[in-house]
Structure 1
Amino acid sequence: MISSALIKKQRWLIGALTALIIITVIIGTCLGYSNLSIGRLVPTLFGQGTFKEEFILFSVRLPRIIITLLAGMALALSGAILQGITRNDLADPGIIGINSGAGVAIAVFFLFFPIDAGSFVYMVPIVGFIGAMLTACIIYVLSFKRRVGLEPVRLVLIGVGFSMALSGLMIVLISSAERAKVDFIAKWLAGNIWGADWPFIWAVLPWLIILIPFTLYKANRLNLLGLSEPVAIGVGVSIEKERIVLLITAVALAAAAVSVTGGIAFIGLMAPHIAKSLVGPRNQLFIPIAILIGGWLLLLADTVGRNIVEPEGIPAGIMVALIGAPYFMYLLLKK
């Protein structure tokens, strides 16, 4: 039974985080190489701005902000699921190689397959999902022992190894590619928000609309999977079946995110931890908080990164890594 005080705290935090996201969106919309004043934001939003103002808002800033927010939410939820099914607080789609698997698949598709402009936007998340799923399956099999089950520490170590190996493979793939395509892959590796256009939003949004409610529906199963295996089996949970279903969900969320943002790690590590510290370890309580924190963290990183150095800015993946790498080391030493 969840106490009413804890539920009230969760609702208050959801309201506060939503307000924080709105404030960050407003600041991010107004800042940039071409400024858009706050006073002109509302008129422009309702179609009463100049051509330049409407172009900056609807073609440049707003799509990038929305796709960054969605990607951060997807990565945070993916990390929360992975930490639940592996019972490992260090699990993250970027750290254990899932993002790299998606990246290699996208790189192969981009470099060696004929690309149709109309279908490319919708094919990228699917291709990323296939690559991420193959990587996740290999890591899962290598981390699993028949008598012991899934070994959390082994999974992280194998995942880190796979991530490094796949990053090396990516460099080999681009070493003989055309200059224009190499530039794209280099931006992907750095975690640059490249899919900043409306079609990419429509390509990613359905994945979140389906998988966020599904994960919340499975929240109690995640609670049980976080217990020891004998206890979970004792209450009637089919452990391997639930793990596989939730693993596919986590991989799909990570693949959808990195297909438009590039290789971004640590969001899936930090957001669930921060959420758990605020409302406790119950998935029903902390997952909505983690989703909002993940979206805000990536949005903040991208907003700061693209304005700190003009005109290109610093990729969001690098900005997140500057915060996330020390946090990962802290958790590694703590655990």
Structure 2
Amino acid sequence: MLHTLRRLPRHNGVLVTLAALILVTFFVSLGLGSSSVSYGRIIPTLLGSGTFKDEFVLFDIRMPRILITLLAGMALALSGALLQGITRNELADPGIVGINAGAGVGVTVFFLFAPIEVGTFVFLIPAVAFAGALLTAVLIYLFAYRPGEGVQPIKLILIGVGFSTALSGVMIVLISSAEQGKVDFIAKWLAGTVWGTDWPFVFALLPWLLLLIPFALVKTRSLNLLSLGEASAVGAGVPIQKDRILLLLTAVALAASAVSVTGGIAFIGLMAPHIARALVGPAHQRFIPVSILVGGWLLLLADTIGRSLNDPGGIAAGIVVAFIGAPYFLHLLLKKPN
């Protein structure tokens, strides 16, 4: 108890610092882009004293995209934290283990073969992505699970990478005979381009986080006990199989809802939990809230950097994240004992 009390001030300080970083990045991002708004006009415009152009750029173009990247980063970070807790494997990430690719196949099939426009059924897209991601997650879990021993950590990563590569190939095959406009969309999705940049996409993603973040926070005690091993969790009265399935569904739903509007972005779910553990320790009730904020800030920062480079098209946020995340993943893989 005394140890916990000593850690709380540091934990709160980290949360405040991350919130400040998000606000600063949010403000900087508002002024960047092909239709820039001077920073001196941002606050007056937010308060209702801006010109029509400034209000249009901020409220109709810039702010929905910023909120999407922030929410998606939070969802991916929490998904990664849950996957790492469920599998007791700190290398788990929804992008690396194939869940994002499964969601991508679901979105691709929907986009190519449903006789509707994607934007018309924006609220259905996360559900379609969830179906594809869930099927992929179940298959990966079954292949990596060994009776009596549980999930094999390195085996999970290898199988997940294999599924991710295979499903990316499936997407390429699916679009090989599609019309050019749809091919361009899928290509941007694969690169991790934030494509859902209107308010309906914000409202499609937000309910998933409002529902699943509190559930994950309630389950932090179960995650703490699972991290000690199945025997300890059973001894403490944790319904292991039930909690593991519910948490896996939560992780899949979070990742699928995020990538359905941001494209195939990996490594956020890997890096954010690791950074959070380094800042506040391994207890899930402390590092999960920190991980959520870290993930939101990382993706928002990556998208802000990408939009400020190679104007006007910019660089996909997924590519910016990969420049950092891929070397970080290799570093973790090499130092992790078998």
Task: Please tell me the TM-score bracket, short chain as reference.
Answer: over 0.9
- Percent of aligned positions with the same letter in both sequences? 64
User: Can you list the C-alpha shifts for 1:54-98, whole angstroms capped at 9, x where unaligned?
Assistant: 111011110000000000000000000000000001000000000
Give matches, 1:126-145, under 5 Å. Answer: 126-145=127-146
Gaps of 5+ in 1: none
Structure 2 equivalent of residue 7 of structure 1: 8
Structure 1 equivalent of residue 47 of structure 2: 46
User: Mean alpha-carbon deviation: is it higher for 271-280 or for 118-127?
Assistant: 118-127
Is the aligned partner of 1:115 residue 2:119?
Answer: no
Is the aligned partner of 1:176 residue 2:169?
Answer: no
SS of equivalent to 2:48: coil
Give runs of ≥4 in structure 1 deviating > 3 Å: 116-119
Give matches, 1:254-293, under 5 Å. Answer: 254-293=255-294
SS of equivalent to 1:90: coil
- What's the CA shift for 1:116? 5.1
Structure 1 equivalent of residue 100 of structure 2: 99
For 1:122 and 1:181, how far apart are their aligned partners in 2? Answer: 20
User: Can you list the C-alpha shifts for 1:30-59, whole angstroms capped at 9, x where unaligned?
Assistant: 112122111111111122211111111011
For 1:314 and 1:272, how far apart are their aligned partners in 2? Answer: 25
Letter in 1 for 2:189: W
SS of equivalent to 1:3: helix
Letter in 2 for 1:196: T
Structure 1 equivalent of residue 218 of structure 2: 217
Alignment: residue pair count: 335
Structure 2 equivalent of residue 74 of structure 1: 75
Is the aligned partner of 1:24 residue 2:46?
Answer: no
RMSD of aligned C-alpha atoms?
Answer: 1.0
Is the aligned partner of 1:88 residue 2:125?
Answer: no
Give matches, 1:227-238, under 5 Å. Answer: 227-238=228-239
- What's the CA shift for 1:119? 4.7
SS of equivalent to 2:214: helix
- What's the CA shift for 1:3? 2.0
Is the aligned partner of 1:158 residue 2:122?
Answer: no
Alpha carbons of structure 1 residues 232 and 256: separation in structure 2 relative to 1, 3 Å: same
For 1:118 and 1:151, how far apart are their aligned partners in 2? Answer: 40
Gaps of 5+ in 2: none
Contact 2:32/2:307 (CA < 8 Å) preserved in 1? no
Structure 1 equivalent of residue 299 of structure 2: 298
For 1:301 and 1:121, how far apart are their aligned partners in 2? Answer: 24
Alpha carbons of structure 1 residues 116 and 190: separation in structure 2 relative to 1, 3 Å: closer
Structure 2 equivalent of residue 193 of structure 1: 194
Letter in 1 for 2:213: I
User: Can you list the C-alpha shifts for 1:200-252, whole angstroms capped at 9, x where unaligned?
Assistant: 00000000001111100000101111112111111112211111000000000
- What's the CA shift for 1:117? 6.1
For 2:227 and 2:164, how far apart are their aligned partners in 1? Answer: 25
For 2:186 and 2:43, how far apart are their aligned partners in 1? Answer: 37
User: Mean alpha-carbon deviation: is it higher for 90-99 or for 49-58?
Assistant: 49-58
Letter in 1 for 2:95: G
For 2:81 and 2:133, how far apart are their aligned partners in 1? Answer: 17
